[in-house]
Chain A
Amino acid sequence: DSGVTQTPKHLITATGQRVTLRCSPRSGDLSVYWYQQSLDQGLQFLIQYYNGEERAKGNILERFSAQQFPDLHSELNLSSLELGDSALYFCASSVLAADSSEQFFGPGTRLTVL
């Protein structure tokens, strides 16, 4: 158990809908990362927050947005969902924002868009 929690575990929704994925980092970790894992794209870094501020941006679509709240939990919002958004979404956390920081991964949220 990494100490990172993600809810929900599974999510099934329809095209065009909007969903919110939630992540609670390990106690004491200030940095939160979001990743998408799909069969065709592999593991892709989406976005990172550090202590409430956006720190780094990867291949995140404009339909997706994220934020980190004062209690350090983070939410990833996915809107206007398409079939291709079906994937496993991981959250990770680390103590620092440095590129050498070890990240601790949550168990993931499996999103299925029908």
Chain B
Amino acid sequence: AQSVTQLDSHVSVSEGTPVLLRCNYSSSYSPSLFWYVQHPNKGLQLLLKYTSAATLVKGINGFEAEFKKSETSFHLTKPSAHMSDAAEYFCVVSLYSSASKIIFGSGTRLSIRP
């Protein structure tokens, strides 16, 4: 069975400091993994995705994520937070098998302190 766990419901960092949003997944097969961002009262936007190519994935707005199979993790990072990064972030597992599933994590709310 597939599952995805976002380890922090809320992360608060100061502007200009690094961001780390943690995501662990569970899957019997090789999944595709995504990070999406949702700004207040907006739809979701893709930040980046992993699809079994390079394990370090670069996304938009300076975000990166590293796929670590041994740790079943796909943590999202950014070297320097910006005020505009304040939003809700979702880690997503997608696997089209006999039980096709798209599973969203519970979300991590990122706050940026001035």
Contacts and interface: CB of A to CB of B under 8 A. Distances in A.
Q: How large is the interface on A (under 10, 10 to 19, 20 to 34, 35 or more residues)?
A: 20 to 34
Contacts, number: 57
Q: Is the interface of B mostly helix, strand, loop or mixed?
A: strand
Interface residues of B, number: 23
A44 interface: yes
Contacts of B83: none
Interface string B64-101: 00000000000000000000000000100011100011
Contacts of B96: 56, 97-99
Interface of A: 2, 4, 33, 35, 42-45, 48, 55-58, 90, 92, 97-100, 102-108
12 contacts: A2-B45, A44-B104, A48-B100, A48-B102, A56-B100, A56-B102, A97-B96, A99-B100, A100-B32, A100-B49, A102-B46, A104-B46
